[in-house]
């Protein structure tokens, strides 16, 4: 490992140029976070309308509106992060189809089209059957739209920490956490306790699975590659340690505990606190995971 | 034709002539570099030595930057050079995330990605890259890897067993070779790089994105 080499050789960089700092910063975090809500709410809408069609019919309109707003937030942050944002159209007119960015942009555009169709169906035509039919296609497209960022991170060959299997699982789990949290806040007290319990279970289990993945990477990642070991030093006593653990506690540990208490006591008012905690914590967790590989010197 | 580069680190004396020639030839703005020479000190006094490593784009056969670029701004030329079309680049910085060699940067003037192109414009006019011309000890060797009679091919043949590339485990198949390299010169994790004032300048990070 590099640590031993440095100890043995006492090699020190004494002259070099300034290295790039964090290139993908909070704007990309906002991008991923907003997308998690935008696709997650669609997953949850589909689940609730299938399982409780009569009790949850009222969520059709607010759910699609939340998705439209957050997906446009995601697109907004995508565009403003470009150093040449007014050339965004190049993606559509000079597309390079090996790039996850291109594939993602095309799929997100299709996703927005379907969302607008759903909004038209429920608001203008008052046609629930059409809405539900479009929802089926939207859910199918929501899966790759959720996953493409994981593909982009996997294509970032320089960043060893981001591996497709774990990132794709984390993206889906983040969508489930964000979608459930938003649904709990959106539904308010209109949901029955049975529905709240279901949402609580999804939130709690998704948080548990995501937390296990993070911990697994934290503990076992360094055993696979020295670059991963070096990156994880930033959250193992390094400058991002506190932020990392604040994110883990808010996104995963607090929701897990509150869901457990709610189900145990059959009292679900705590789920709203769990939802807010999860949404804030998710942003922080994603931000730390996005930033730390960029701190490593590539050359 | 497959153009490639080889640097004989035994010969390089860290004069930085290649850096300056590159900057002048390609009008590389202040604070950014297509090519740089990194100094690493090894050992403890009095048993010390200084290593010099010129670092530039590796023009990989399996270039992650070309693959991730959403608009084909990064593209292959027929001679194997990974070139960049700055008019097409949207500045998404995906290539910066993908390049394992830290060879790509955002040009602060054009707000697009930029990197070493092996002086593709000079090569098109049958001239050598400016860094090759400037090197006083001919440590930079440039040529056609497909031609067994080219200088670079013969050099690789003569130094078999001592020719290395950076980060071969990444599977990028670089067309940039080093003779006389080692862990300290080629592996950035094998040397300590503290931010702050060092021998001649301030080692630091740049706020590249302007979004901080």
DSSP states of B140-162:
EEEEETT-TTSHHHHHHHHTTTS
Which H or E run includes B37?
strand B36-44
Q: What is the mean pLDDT of chain A?
A: 95
- Alpha carbon A101 to chain centroid distance? 16
Q: Is the pLDDT of residue A291 over 50?
A: yes
3-state secondary structure of B113: strand
Q: Which of B13, B14, B22, B3 is nearest to B132 (CA)?
A: B22
- Of A195, A298, A287, the closest CA to residue A244 belongs to A287
Q: How many domains does chain B have?
A: 1
- Give me the helix-helix angle, A270-291 and A26-51, nearest 10°: 140
Q: B201 in a domain, yes or no?
A: no
| Tokens of residue B177, six digits | 């070779």
Any CB–CB contact under 8 A between B178 and chain A? Answer: no
Question: Which among B28, B11, B10 has a CA at the least distance from the CA of B20?
Answer: B28
Give the up-direction half-sphere exposure of residue A142: CA atoms within 13 A in the CB hemisphere: 29
Residue B206 domain flag = no
- What is the CATH T-level fold of the domain A2-295, as seen in this structure? Formate dehydrogenase/DMSO reductase fold (1.20.1630)
pLDDT below 50 — which residues of chain B? 210-212
Query: What domain range is B44 assigned to?
Result: 3-191
pLDDT in tens, B86-102: 999 999 999 999 999 99
| Residue in chain B nearest A91 by alpha carbon | B71
In a domain, B44, yes or no: yes
What pLDDT digit, counting tens, does each position of A145-157 carry? 999 999 999 999 9
Q: Which ranges in A2-127 belong to alpha helices (H)?
A: 2-9, 26-51, 60-81, 90-93, 100-119
In sequence order, what are the beta bridge partners of B47? B44
Closest CA to B15 of B130, B129, B136: B136
Query: Is B205 domain-assigned?
Result: no
Domain assignment present for B90: yes
**Left (φ > 0), alpha (ψ -120 to 50) or beta: where does A237 sit?**
left
Return the SS3 of B43: strand
Q: Do A226 and B202 touch (CB under 8 A)?
A: no
Domain assignment present for residue B204? The answer is no
Cβ distance of A13 and B191 shorter than 8 Å: yes
pLDDT, position A199: 97
Q: Are B172 and B100 in contact (CB under 8 A)?
A: yes
CATH classification of the domain holding B61? 3.30.70.20
Examine residue B200 and state whether it is found in any structural domain, yes or no: no
State whether A12 and B192 contact (CB < 8 Å). yes
Domain segments of chain A: what residues? 2-295
Q: Give the pLDDT band of residue A20 (cuts 50, 70, 90).
A: confident
User: Nearest by CB to A20, which of B105, B190, B199?
Assistant: B105
- Interface confidence, given as ipTM, is 0.92
């Amino acid at each position: 490992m590099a640590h031993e080499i440095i100890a043995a050789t006492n090699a020190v960089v004494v002259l070099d140029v300034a290295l790039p700092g964090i290139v993908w910063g909070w704007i990309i975090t906002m991008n991923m976070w907003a997308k998690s809500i935008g696709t997650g709410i669609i997953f949850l809408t589909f689940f609730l309308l299938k399982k409780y069609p009569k009790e949850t019919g009222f969520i059709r309109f607010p759910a699609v509106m939340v998705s439209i707003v957050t997906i446009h937030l995601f697109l907004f942050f995508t565009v403003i992060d470009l150093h040449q944002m007014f050339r965004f159209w190049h993606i559509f007119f000079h597309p390079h189809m090996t790039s996850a960015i291109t594939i993602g942009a095309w799929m997100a555009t299709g996703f927005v089209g379907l969302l607008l169709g759903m909004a038209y169906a429920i608001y203008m035509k008052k046609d629930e059957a059409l809405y539900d039919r479009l929802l089926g296609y939207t859910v199918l497209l929501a899966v790759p739209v959720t996953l493409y960022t994981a593909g982009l991170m996997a294509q970032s060959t320089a960043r060893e920490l981001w591996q497709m299997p774990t990132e794709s699982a984390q993206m889906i789990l983040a969508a489930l956490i964000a979608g459930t949290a938003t649904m709990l806040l959106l539904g308010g007290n209109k949901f029955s306790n049975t529905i709240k319990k279901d949402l609580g279970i999804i939130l709690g289990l998704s948080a548990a699975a995501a937390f296990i993945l993070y911990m697994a990477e934290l503990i076992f990642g360094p055993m696979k590659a020295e670059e991963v070991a070096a990156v994880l030093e930033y959250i193992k006593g390094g400058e991002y340690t506190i932020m990392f653990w604040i994110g883990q506690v808010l996104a995963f540990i607090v929701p897990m505990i509150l869901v457990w208490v709610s189900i145990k006591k059959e009292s679900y008012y705590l789920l709203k606190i769990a939802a807010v905690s999860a949404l804030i914590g998710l942003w922080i967790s994603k931000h730390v995971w996005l930033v730390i590989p960029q701190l490593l010197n590539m050359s | 034709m497959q153009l490639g580069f080889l640097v004989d680190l035994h010969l390089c004396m860290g004069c930085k002539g290649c850096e300056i020639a590159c900057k002048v030839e390609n009008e590389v703005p202040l604070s950014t570099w297509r090519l740089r020479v990194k100094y690493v000190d090894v050992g403890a006094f009095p048993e010390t030595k200084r290593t010099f490593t010129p670092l530039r784009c590796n023009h990989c056969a399996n270039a992650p930057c070309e693959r991730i670029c959403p608009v084909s701004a990064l593209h292959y030329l027929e001679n194997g050079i990974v070139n960049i079309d700055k008019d097409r680049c949207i500045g998404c910085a995906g290539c910066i995330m993908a390049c394992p060699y830290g060879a790509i940067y955002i040009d602060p003037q054009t707000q697009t990605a930029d990197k070493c192109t092996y002086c593709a414009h000079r090569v098109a006019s049958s001239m050598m890259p400016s860094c090759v011309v400037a090197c006083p000890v001919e440590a930079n060797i440039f040529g056609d890897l497909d031609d067994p009679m080219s200088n670079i091919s013969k050099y690789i043949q003569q130094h078999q067993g001592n020719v290395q590339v950076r980060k071969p485990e990444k599977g990028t198949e670089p067309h940039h070779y080093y003779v006389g390299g080692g862990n300290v010169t080629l592996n950035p994790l094998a040397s300590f790089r503290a931010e702050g004032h060092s021998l001649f300048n301030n080692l630091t990070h740049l706020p590249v994105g302007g979004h901080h």
